[in-house]
């Protein structure tokens, strides 16, 4: 319990009190969480509660997810491609949508990869939804909606985006967790670690 409190308190400080040394503090905090046996369900729940408390918009979306008439598959991915591999989650999203499966794909610009999904889509001229409320119409008309993760969590994204050029504990659960849309399935792509 004391360890959970200490980790949550450090996250609270990182989110609410940015400083010039914040990047190093984020990394140290992340490395602590990655130690074997450290990242427990109770600790994850505590971290998630702190993120929701920090970002009121995300909290509202989580309480009332965006309804989708035909339950879609949500595709999210870790990003942070240290190995510069192919962005397969975006290609998989387009392929699934081409077969008639409604898809919602979370996207962001590159932090450490050659390009992020948002960069690829922009180059191809494929629109990215900027507001979660437009997702149902995009899925209905196009069979797919690409949405920026930051649209659901603007406060958190403003504080977190670009901090980790490599995989962190947040890379594993935040991309899928912040896409507050009713879905029948989740598909999560993870870069090789």
User: Is residue 102 within 8 Å of residue 71, measured between CB atoms?
Assistant: yes
Q: Clarify whether residues 125 and 157 are in a common domain.
A: yes
Q: Which of 54, 77, 96 is the last residue of a domain?
A: 54
pLDDT for res 10: 75
Successive 10-residue mean pLDDT values, the chain, 193 residues: 68 71 75 79 85 91 90 78 67 92 86 70 91 94 92 82 62 77 80 53
Please check whether residue 179 is in contact with residue 106, taking contact to mean a CB–CB distance below 8 angstroms: yes
Q: Are 91 and 164 in a shared domain?
A: yes
List the CATH number of the domain containing 119: 3.40.1030.10
* Number of domains composing the chain: 2
In this prediction, residue 157 carries a pLDDT of 80
Considering the domain architecture, whether residues 110 and 185 belong to the same structural domain is answered as yes
Q: Are residues 171 and 86 in the same domain?
A: yes
Q: Which of 156, 135, 132, 172 is nearest to 53 (CA)?
A: 156
179 and 93 assigned to the same domain? yes
Residue 19: its pLDDT value, please?
A: 67
User: Do 48 and 70 belong to one domain?
Assistant: no
Q: CA-to-CA distance for 175 and 120, rounded, in angstroms?
A: 18
The pLDDT assigned to 191 comes to 58
> What's the domain range around 137?
62-189
41 contact partners, CB below 8 Å, separation of at least 6: none
Are residue 14 and residue 88 in the same domain, yes or no? Answer: no
């Amino acid at each position: 319990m004391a360890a959970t409190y200490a980790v949550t308190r450090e996250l609270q400080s990182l989110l609410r009190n940015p400083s010039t040394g914040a990047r190093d503090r984020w990394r140290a905090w992340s490395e602590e969480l990655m130690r074997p046996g450290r990242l427990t369900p109770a600790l994850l729940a505590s971290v998630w509660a702190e993120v929701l408390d920090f970002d009121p918009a995300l909290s509202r979306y989580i309480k009332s997810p965006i309804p989708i008439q035909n339950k879609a598959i949500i595709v999210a991915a870790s990003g942070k491609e240290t190995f510069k591999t192919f962005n397969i989650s975006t290609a998989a999203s387009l392929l699934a949508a081409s077969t008639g499966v409604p898809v919602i794909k979370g996207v962001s610009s590159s932090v450490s990869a050659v390009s992020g999904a948002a960069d690829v889509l922009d180059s191809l001229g494929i629109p990215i939804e900027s507001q979660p409320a437009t997702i149902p119409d995009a899925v209905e008309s196009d069979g797919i909606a690409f949405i920026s993760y930051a649209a659901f969590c603007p406060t958190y994204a403003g504080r977190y985006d670009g901090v980790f050029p490599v995989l962190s504990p947040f890379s594993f659960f935040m991309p899928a967790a912040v896409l507050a849309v009713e879905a029948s399935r989740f598909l999560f792509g993870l870069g090789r670690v």
